Amino acid sequence: MELDLTHIPQHIAIIMDGNGRWAKQRGLPRTAGHVEGVAAVKRITEECVRLGVKFLTLYTFSTENWNRPAEEVSALMGLVLSNLEEDIFMKNNVRFRVIGDIKRLPDNVQQRLWQVMENTADNDAMTMVVALSYSARWELTKAVKDILWEMKKTSLTRAVMDPEEITEETIAQHLETYFMPDPDLLIRTGGEQRISNYLLWQIAYTELYFCDTFWPDFNEEALRTAIADYQQRERRYGKTSEQVQPKSNN
């Protein structure tokens, strides 16, 4: 797949779906699909670094996924723990970050996440963001609470923040994703055409791409196909086509 390397999406977000069905098709337990899904994470991360993507945000475990059978939840936590390989992040110069309600995760997983975040903090080829115990409605609810707490605290020091001072930027700065730009491209594998509570605020103008491939089968070629599709699109942000087309020189 020929790509325009000058027009690579800066931020790609992925809903990695279809692990369970991939396993079922092969008569394997769902967990086998998650294990194979980890291999896909590694190849896609490396390909994104090679292509010059700056942020890759992977939906790994949603708030709603806590309602899955306990054995599956604990297998997923085990996979997170055993696959946070610092040497791979260092080799690829990748900074690791987490978004989500990490306090709900087992203590040993939390500790490991903080450790890897700290040790990779200076890497700057790409930031890989893992959404764990994350949902957009949880995130927005938390942002509202945080803003109100700040107003309450500043009111004690008499520097009352006026509600009229709240802007879109204030909200964005209180989201888990405050440190990165909005996604340019959102990919969902596995055939479903829904968002499942992912990055609702941030995808206001993101290009959406859905494919039937189950996540464990998603490879470099499939990623390039998604990026090529993105490169065909015209992002108008509410304007007309004439407004966004660069003027020709002749």
* Smallest distance from ligand IPE to CB 83, Å: 13
Annotated catalytic residue, options 19, 65, 197, 249? 65
Choosing among Mg ion, ligand IPE, none, which partner's interface includes residue 60 (Cβ < 5 to 8 Å by kind)?
ligand IPE
Q: Which stretch binds Mg ion (CB under 5 A): 9-17, 31-39, 76-84, 92-100?
A: 9-17
* Smallest distance from ligand IPE to CB 13, Å: 11
Choosing among ligand IPE, Mg ion, none, which partner's interface includes residue 10 (Cβ < 5 to 8 Å by kind)?
none
Would you say 17 or 47 has its CB closer to Mg ion?
Answer: 17
Taking CB atoms, the residue at the shortest distance from ligand IPE is 20
Would you say 8 or 223 has its CB closer to ligand IPE?
Answer: 223
Q: Is 47 one of the binding residues for Mg ion (CB under 5 A)?
A: no
- Which residues here bind ligand IPE, judged by CB under 6 A? 15-21, 59-62, 65, 76, 190, 192, 194, 196
Would you say 8 or 199 has its CB closer to ligand IPE?
Answer: 199
Choosing among Mg ion, ligand IPE, none, which partner's interface includes residue 231 (Cβ < 5 to 8 Å by kind)?
none
Find out whether 235 and 183 touch, Cβ atoms under 8 Å. no
146 catalytic per annotation: no
Annotated catalytic residue, options 4, 17, 83, 162? 17
Per-position DSSP letters for the chain, written without gaps between them: ----TTS--SEEEEE---HHHHHHHTT--HHHHHHHHHHHHHHHHHHHHHHT-SEEEEEEEEGGGGGS-HHHHHHHHHHHHHT--HHHHHHTTEEEEEES-GGGS-HHHHHHHHHHHHHTTT--SEEEEEEEEE-HHHHHHHHHHHHHHHHHHHHHTT-PPPGGG--HHHHHHTSTTTTSPPPSEEEE-SS----TT-STTTTTTPEEEE--S-GGG--HHHHHHHHHHHHT----TTS-HHHHSPPP--
Q: Is 36 one of the binding residues for Mg ion (CB under 5 A)?
A: no
Q: Is 17 one of the binding residues for Mg ion (CB under 5 A)?
A: yes
107 catalytic per annotation: no
Q: Which two tokens stand for residue 115?
A: 């450790």
Q: Which two tokens stand for residue 236?
A: 């108008």
Q: Which residues are catalytic?
A: 17, 65
